[in-house]
Amino acid sequence: MLEQFRMDAARDDLMPLVVVTGGLGRVATVLRPWLRKHYRLRLVDRARPTHPHDDVVQADIGDPDAAYRAFAGADAILHLAANSSPWQTWDSVYAANVRTTQVVLEAAAAHAVPKLVLASSLHVMGEYNRPAHWPVDPRLDPRPCCPYGLGKVVLEALGRTTAERTGASVTCLRLGLTGWPLTERRYLGQWLSDDDAGRLVLAALRSTERYGVHFGVSANTRAHWDISSARHELGYRPEDDSEVLADRAGPSSGPVCRLFDPQISD
């Protein structure tokens, strides 16, 4: 028993270290079981640690000193920390999301972290979410639907600049509905199942592309977002389809932002 424990500990020490910002949040909670199979994890979050078996750092990742300390020894960074509300003002988006991303990227560069995966959002392309554009091509120019989406446009630009200046591999994932129950029909085209989220992020962490931006949704019958680049360039292999949940999904609960217009509200 003791010898097996020592072998397991030695194996874990050899696993690459991924630092996850927003490590106790909704998306990270979905991803942690997948990530633990392949990586050591260090979770950074402002919330009080509740996972005694994880390396958890309670810190504000927007503090440059805290970010620098948290990233020591990292082989990769998965940046999930953000305020994801589409109802934010630009001032709030800048403070909570844009400036924080800049701090994260600067601290990563200071440690020469070779791989960065940044959580972007479909809101970057929200104005394309109309039947005339389906499936939306990720290569189109960004057309954000709200201040939150605009902040993610800036995140992607900061990621590209980091890749070009430092040589790090940077992958931006425009995530759909992640970590939430699929209760409304309007989300059927942008659902990302928990298991497919794990498959997608693992593929992104293993990618050596210099810089890439990809939509992150499941293999949905209602293919509103083109995931060809994620399949071909990352090796993403989604297995789930929102259509199996369509009969249980209800009408929309109210306005979100311009990601939806009246003709596709349900």
Tell me the per-residue pLDDT of 98-140, one tens digit each, with 9 for 90 and over. 999 999 999 999 999 999 999 999 999 999 999 999 999 999 9
- CA dihedral (100, 61, 76, 206) in degrees, to 10, reads -60
If you average pLDDT over residues 52-81, what whole number do you get?
94
Question: What would the pLDDT profile of 184-213 be if each residue is shown by its tens digit?
Answer: 999 999 999 999 999 999 999 999 999 999
Over 60: is that where the pLDDT of 10 sits?
Answer: no
Strands (E), 34-179: 40-45, 55-58, 76-79, 115-121, 169-175, 177-178
Domains of the chain and any CATH numbers? 2-264 (3.40.50.720)
Q: How far apart are CA 257 and CA 123, in angstroms?
A: 9
Residues in the chain: 266
Beta bridge partners of 57: 44
Q: How far apart are CA 25 and CA 85, in angstroms?
A: 14
Confidence of residue 51 (pLDDT cuts 50, 70, 90): low
Give the tokens for residue 9. Answer: 């500990």
User: Would you state the pLDDT for residue 14?
Assistant: 86
In contact, 199 and 236? CB cutoff 8 Å: yes
Q: Which residue has the higher pLDDT, 6 or 166?
A: 166
Over 90: is that where the pLDDT of 6 sits?
Answer: no
Confidence of residue 53 (pLDDT cuts 50, 70, 90): low
Over 50: is that where the pLDDT of 5 sits?
Answer: no
**pTM exceeds 0.95, yes or no:** no
Provide, rounded to the nearest whole percent, the portion of the chain with pLDDT above 70: 92
Over 90: is that where the pLDDT of 33 sits?
Answer: yes
Confidence of residue 262 (pLDDT cuts 50, 70, 90): low
All residues at 6 or more sequence positions from 236 whose CB lies less than 8 Å from its CB, including other chains: 199, 200, 203, 204, 214, 227, 230
94, HSE (Cβ side, Cα atoms, 13 Å) = 3
